[in-house]
Amino acid sequence: MPDVIERLKSDVLIGPGPECLRSQYDQLNDSGGEWITGHPQAYQDVVRAQFEIGCDFFEVGLGGHAGIELGKLGKEDKTPNIVRRVLELTREVIPSGCYLVGHMLRPTNVQPPFGEATPAEVYDSYQRQAVLADEGGVDLIRMVFDSIEQMELGIQAIGTISQLPIAASFSLSPTPKGFRTWTGLDFRVGVKKLDELGVEIVGNSCGVIGYREVTTVLEEMKAVSNMYLWPRPNAGTPELVGGKTVYSGTPEQYAQEALKWVEAGARLISGCCGTTPEHTAKLVAAVRHA
| 3-class DSSP assignment, residue 42 | helix
Q: Rounded CA gap, 199 and 202, in Å?
A: 8
Chain-centroid distance of CA 105 in Å reads 9
Q: Rounded CA gap, 143 and 185, in Å?
A: 16
User: Percentages helix, strand, coil for the chain, rounded to the nearest 5?
Assistant: 45, 15, 35
Question: Residues 6 or more apart from 246 whose CB is under 8 A from it?
Answer: 238, 239, 240, 274
Q: What is the DSSP letter of 94?
A: P
Q: Rounded CA gap, 254 and 210, in Å?
A: 10
Domains within the chain, CATH numbers bracketed: 4-288 (3.20.20.330)
Residue 170: its H or E element = strand 166-170
CA-CA-CA-CA torsion sign (13, 265, 61, 3): positive
Instruction: Return per-residue pLDDT of the chain as tens, 290 residues.
Output: 679 999 999 999 999 998 888 776 655 445 678 888 889 999 999 999 999 999 999 999 998 655 555 455 454 578 889 899 999 999 999 999 999 999 987 765 544 555 667 888 888 889 999 999 999 999 999 999 888 988 999 999 999 999 999 999 999 999 999 999 988 999 999 999 999 999 999 999 988 888 889 999 999 999 999 999 999 999 887 788 888 888 888 999 999 999 999 999 999 999 999 999 999 999 999 999 87
Residue among 71, 74, 155, 170 at smallest CA distance from 121 = 71
| Residue 86: count of CB within 10 angstroms of its CB | 21
Chain-centroid distance of CA 82 in Å reads 19
R_g over Cα of the chain: 18
Cβ 233 vs Cβ 280: under 8 Å: no
Q: State how far the alpha carbon of 172 is from the alpha carbons of 45, 67, 160, 183, 216, in Å.
A: 33, 26, 29, 10, 12
